[in-house]
Chains A and B, each alone.
Chain A
Amino acid sequence: MSEAKRNFLEGARAEAPILIGVFPFGLIYGALAVNSGLSTTAAQLMSSIVFAGSAQFITAQLFSESAPALVMILTIAVVNLRHMLYSASLAPYLKDLPMSWKTLLSYLLTDEAYAPSILHYEKEGLPRFKHWFLFGAGISLWLNWQVSTAIGVFLGASIPENLSLDFALPLTFIAMIVPVMKKFPVVAAALSAGITALLAYSLPYKLGLILAALAGIVVGTFLEGRAAAKGAQ
């Protein structure tokens, strides 16, 4: 088997359990979108044009409240700000790729493709063909998202809201992130981000999310720097 294919399959395999958490999320999005008054075409195509779960949910909701287009566009921008952090964090691993690969992988760069890929790269370093791992994870998520949206759009109102299927998504993030809680600065970063997210939850446009992420990053970086300074003495 070629090295590229091996990396691709490894990425797809790492993504597989996450797909189980994302699938119900796609169903709920599809159903919510058509119930919000979007045409089936718009509901379906949003999943490939915007391709960002939580932003799509909020857009569908704002659409049903007849929000102005500019408000909806700005909301998508703020809700997706965290992708700049993902972009920065993956950039060193993708720096030598041709522009076509960078473009394709950027399009596929969601929360759920980022999580297993960055954990893999931080462990494995920079082997060749490593971009195939992200591609394998990203494309399987993309396919899963299109199919689950389509089924959700098709089933529409018949999906009961009180099934709590949406909880599967935070569970996949728990599964990804808990096992890396090994060093004190990482745990402190996670706790500060989480607590800030609770305190800042009522801020509009999910601004609390980005504020919380920055708080966690600052705390982790500061504590690591302090530990390194102590170690050097």
Chain B
Amino acid sequence: MTNIWVVMVFGGLITFGMRFSLIYLFGRFEIPDTLRRALHYVPPAVFSAIIFPEIFLSGGVVNLSPANPRLLAGLLAILTAWVSRNTLVTILVGMAALFFFQWVQ
């Protein structure tokens, strides 16, 4: 039986440590320009890496068929986000589209 409390305490400390790491270290050494520039790409890179598998994969394999409701709903949400620039509208349209495409099948 795994001791979940040990896992939670160490997992929590490590997670906090990683969140704190560079906020703590900043200013203690010189940051090269390239690295500074690279940090601007953190949001688009990380969030795309989270989003793509959610809409393009089903059951662990790439599914580009129109029978993949998450793909259709995801693409519609991307379009909605681009046009409306509104988080709430994007979530509502995306969820409604997902329910609709799942229901149609």
| Nearest CB of A to B15, in Å | 5
How distant is B28 from chain A, measured CB to nearest CB, in Å? 10
Residues of chain A within 8 A (CB-CB) of B102 are 164
Interchain CB contact under 8 A, B20 and A213: no
- Classify chain B's interface size: 35 or more
Number of residues from A at the complex interface, CB < 8 A: 94
Q: Per DSSP, are chain B's interface residues mostly helix, strand or loop, or mixed?
A: helix
CA distance A164 to B72 in the complex (A): 14
A217 within 8 A of B: yes
Residues of chain B within 8 A (CB-CB) of A80 are: 14-15, 18
What total of A-B pairs shows CB separation below 8 Å? 267
> Contacts of A176 on B, CB cut-off 8 Å?
43, 47, 87
Which A residues touch B70, using CB under 8 A?
167
B2:A220 contact, CB within 8 angstroms: no
Task: Say if the beta carbon of A127 comes within 8 Å of chain B.
Answer: no
Contact between A50 and B12, CB atoms less than 8 A apart: yes
Could you say which of B5, B25, B38, B51 contacts A173, with CB atoms under 8 Å apart?
B51
A186 touches B44 (CB 8 A): yes
- Tell me, in angstroms, the Cα distance from A46 to B4 when the chains sit together: 9
19 contacts between A and B (CB under 8 A): A46-B8, A51-B15, A72-B7, A73-B7, A81-B18, A84-B19, A84-B22, A86-B42, A91-B22, A94-B23, A102-B20, A103-B20, A111-B47, A164-B98, A193-B49, A195-B52, A196-B49, A197-B53, A208-B53
